Structure 1
């Protein structure tokens, strides 16, 4: 099966570009979107053969997630059932016989790290949430997790050390999540490859490939994992957003 995750930085905006053509070219079984920035009814997509599920933020034009899938799930669940974290449309969970698929848009710690404390509480709640799920079956987490885990995961690691997305606190929480029983699919296959999934709009960052790898597929390390990682990719050629799609292919 082929899974795609893509922070589209505004679904209505990217629909005015070549999103439908790019979506079709991806030919994926699952496409998970973050930062849709829309409310119900503000945009429609004609995607024959795909079920469409959305989680909207209460605040208009902000956050939001979606999953588009060829395979109808057993169940659909929005949020983590934690009131403090469930009003920004940041999480969708689909259940299938052999796995849970979670599309996640992790809160950004913001300028001057104003939301770092909130982010830390989110991280703990999210880790607890997914660890309970993986006791039942394999869990696939994908999305913009808003952290470059290691120095290899961003171009300018020295100058960004204490900036949002590369603080010691955020990186430590990613380590905790992985150590609790998850595999970073891309890094497991390509341990030494420098490739990025997000670039600032400032300073010609994309032209200079001064990027960050903050979009992930994490797969739980269940002993009898029926979905085995076959490949993981970062599709730098897709230009409709400041992020590019990332891919997980399973056997």
Structure 2
């Protein structure tokens, strides 16, 4: 099974550029920052099952998951209004596992939303650990955080995604809760970035992840950054040794 996660920086824009077609061949496609509640005709006729969760605010945030497999259940949001009105989490339940598509908030300029971000992090943690009591969990998306210095082309701990608080939580999930950073498992000595700034060419970070609960560690076959243009993010591909979820 092949899963792609991609912050498309606008679904309509990425569709116009033709870049989205390059990932529709995969089994599951998780999109973040779709910024719309409308579905392009290309997707409606793609033959894929489509689930989306848009923000209340027009042209903002939103997530969408396209899949070749029909889910048993779909969970929109975290049941917390301040997060759910921004359309940030979409979960599909399958027979063998849960797939969580998540667009984590940015800590904001001057870290004005850092407290909001950390509260969101902890709420997501509680949510996915409850799901994990029932079956394995895979959470993919734009986490808007790095793990360490190797994951950024620059370093300033007052910058969003680089703060100690954001890094501490992400590493806690991996080191303490038993989730596997699939990219690092497959590429332990490789450093690539998944986001780069349009404005400041020297700014780039690895902030997009697929975290896989340890029960599925032996099923991780591959994880790689796909150099597909069209957004300020690159897609991340996760391949598992299972035929269907």
- TM range, smaller chain: over 0.9
Q: How does 1:176-195 map to 2 (within 5 A)?
A: 176-178=172-174, 179-195=176-192
Q: How does 1:150-165 map to 2 (within 5 A)?
A: 150-157=148-155, 160-165=156-161
Give the match for residue 125 of structure 2: 127
Give the match for residue 55 of structure 2: 57
Give the match for residue 233 of structure 1: 224
Stretches of 4+ moved more than 2 A in 1? 41-49
Instruction: Report if aligned partners of 2:111, 2:158 keep a CA contact under 8 Å in 1.
Output: no
Measured in 2, the distance between the counterparts of 1:154 and 1:247 equals 20
Give the match for residue 215 of structure 1: 208
State the TM-score, normalizing by the size of structure 1: 0.91
Instruction: Report if aligned partners of 1:98, 1:226 keep a CA contact under 8 Å in 2.
Output: no
Give the match for residue 171 of structure 1: 167
Give the match for residue 21 of structure 1: 21
Give 5+ residue unaligned stretches, structure 1: none
Instruction: Report if aligned partners of 2:4, 2:23 keep a CA contact under 8 Å in 1.
Output: no
Output one character per residue of 1:209-237: Cα deviation in whole Å (capped at 9) or x when no partner.
x4210000000113xx497111100012x
Match 1:78 to one of 76, 100, 114: 76
Match 1:37 to one of 24, 35, 39: 35
Instruction: Report if aligned partners of 2:182, 2:210 keep a CA contact under 8 Å in 1.
Output: yes
Q: How does 1:67-146 map to 2 (within 5 A)?
A: 67-146=65-144
- Aligned CA RMSD, in angstroms, stands at 1.5
Measured in 2, the distance between the counterparts of 1:61 and 1:171 equals 29
The farther-off stretch of 94-103 and 225-234 is 225-234
Q: Report the secondary structure of 1:172's partner residue.
A: helix
Q: Report the secondary structure of 1:217's partner residue.
A: strand
Measured in 1, the distance between the counterparts of 2:236 and 2:51 equals 19
Q: Aligned pair 1:243/2:233, yes or no? A: yes
**Number of paired residues?**
239
**1:227 and 1:85, CA in 2 relative to 1: closer, same or farther beyond 3 A?**
farther
Q: Report the secondary structure of 2:42's partner residue.
A: coil
Q: How far did residue 60 of structure 1 move?
A: 0.5
